[in-house]
């Protein structure tokens, strides 16, 4: 099935939309009732799920993980997202740059002693800058899940995998696929998008001092079939229990900060610039 391009609006005005649906995550009902213009939400998932096969994921690794998009500060990348609205998310109709501050501030209120977690909330979606650099949104946003094994029925709009050839593959279409039982999340080939890209960017940065728990949140916060629905337990290793607890706590703020009052960005930027410096992310980073 051909893929319909859906490009970002990073360099143009924000596309006006009706108020988002009330669901706090991407249920099939939320997708069906989304007010996104021209049903972009369902289209994004159709494109993503038809193209989420291990060969394409590996090609995206080669395309993006050479870190050839130049050196930019976190704040420079954040402001590239000033006009970016995630077409896969029925809960957000504001630019992602504002969502960064809203998530971070929601965490700061309830975890005043964990500034690394505030910072994780601040940067967690920066990988969406891929869309500003020419990648189609279906490659960038939306839920993530492993490829190279059977797709879970708990993935939103899972019926759309019918067009994905990996579902009929003798290995990739089976429960364990190319993996061993309880091999651990870190050994899975996840569908490539903004989570994996930012995780790899920060892991590649020599002075990054964000705790491993923060990197877990960045890498797995969109893995909703796992942390929200309980899928893929047969691939979890014992040490992944700590990841699950941490990511579930983080996602309370990623989800439920989306309808709050808009923050005063000019007052908050100095605070988060200081935190970036504290955790080794204050200067230029290769993207």
Segment holding 17, helix H or strand E: none
Q: Is residue 19 part of a domain?
A: no
Q: Is residue 237 part of a domain?
A: yes
pLDDT of residue 259: 52
DSSP-assigned letter for residue 11: T
Task: Choose among 221, 275, 274, 201: nearest CA to 25.
Answer: 221
Q: Is residue 27 part of a domain?
A: no
Helix-helix angle 240-256:115-123, to 10 degrees: 70
- What is the pTM (predicted TM-score) of this model? 0.82
111 is in an annotated binding site: no
How does DSSP assign 153-207, residue by residue?
A: TTSTTGGGGGG-GGGGSTTTTSSSTTS-TT--GGGS-BPPSHHHHHHHHHHH-TT
221 is in an annotated binding site: yes
Q: Is residue 16 part of a domain?
A: no
194 is in an annotated binding site: yes
Number of domains in the chain: 1
72 is in an annotated binding site: no
Q: What is the pLDDT of residues 152-186, one digit of tens each?
A: 999 988 877 877 889 999 999 999 999 999 999 99
pLDDT higher than 70, residue 18: no
d(CA 112, CA 26): 29
Task: Choose among 203, 185, 200, 202: nearest CA to 243.
Answer: 185
Cβ(213)–Cβ(121) below 8 Å: no
d(CA 139, CA 197): 11
86 is in an annotated binding site: no
Q: Is residue 7 part of a domain?
A: no
Q: Is residue 32 part of a domain?
A: no
225: which 2 tokens? Answer: 């079939």
pLDDT of residue 35: 35
Q: Is residue 229 part of a domain?
A: yes
254 is in an annotated binding site: yes
Q: Is residue 3 part of a domain?
A: no
Cβ(215)–Cβ(244) below 8 Å: no
d(CA 241, CA 230): 12
pLDDT of residue 72: 99
Range of the domain at 110: 39-286
Q: What is the pLDDT of residues 21-63, one digit of tens each?
A: 233 343 444 433 433 444 444 555 455 545 567 889 999 999 9
């Amino acid at each position: 099935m051909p893929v319909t391009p859906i490009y970002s609006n990073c360099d143009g005005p924000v596309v006006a939309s009706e108020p988002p649906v009330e669901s706090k995550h991407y249920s099939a009902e939320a997708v069906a009732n989304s007010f996104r213009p021209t049903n972009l939400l369902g289209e994004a998932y159709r494109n993503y799920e038809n193209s989420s096969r291990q060969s394409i994921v590996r090609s995206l690794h080669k395309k993006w993980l050479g870190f050839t998009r130049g050196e930019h500060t976190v704040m420079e990348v954040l402001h590239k997202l000033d006009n970016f609205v995630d077409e896969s998310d029925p809960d957000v109709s504001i630019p992602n740059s504002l969502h960064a501050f809203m998530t971070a501030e929601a965490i700061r209120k309830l975890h005043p002693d964990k500034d690394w977690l505030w910072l994780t909330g601040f940067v967690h979606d920066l990988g969406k800058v891929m869309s500003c650099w020419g990648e189609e949104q279906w490659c960038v946003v939306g839920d993530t899940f492993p490829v190279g094994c059977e797709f879970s029925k708990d993935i939103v709009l899972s019926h759309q995998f019918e067009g994905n050839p990996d579902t009929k593959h003798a290995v990739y279409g089976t429960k364990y696929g190319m993996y061993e039982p309880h091999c651990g999340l870190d050994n899975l080939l996840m569908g490539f998008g903004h989570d994996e890209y930012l995780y790899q960017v920060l892991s590649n940065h020599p002075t990054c001092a964000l705790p491993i728990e923060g990197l877990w949140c960045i890498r797995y916060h969109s893995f909703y079939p796992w942390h929200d629905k309980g899928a893929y337990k047969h691939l979890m290793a014992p040490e992944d229990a700590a990841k699950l607890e941490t990511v579930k706590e983080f996602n309370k703020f990623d989800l439920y900060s989306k309808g709050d009052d808009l923050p005063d960005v000019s007052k908050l930027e100095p605070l988060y610039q200081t935190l970036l410096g504290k955790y080794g992310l204050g200067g230029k980073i290769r993207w």
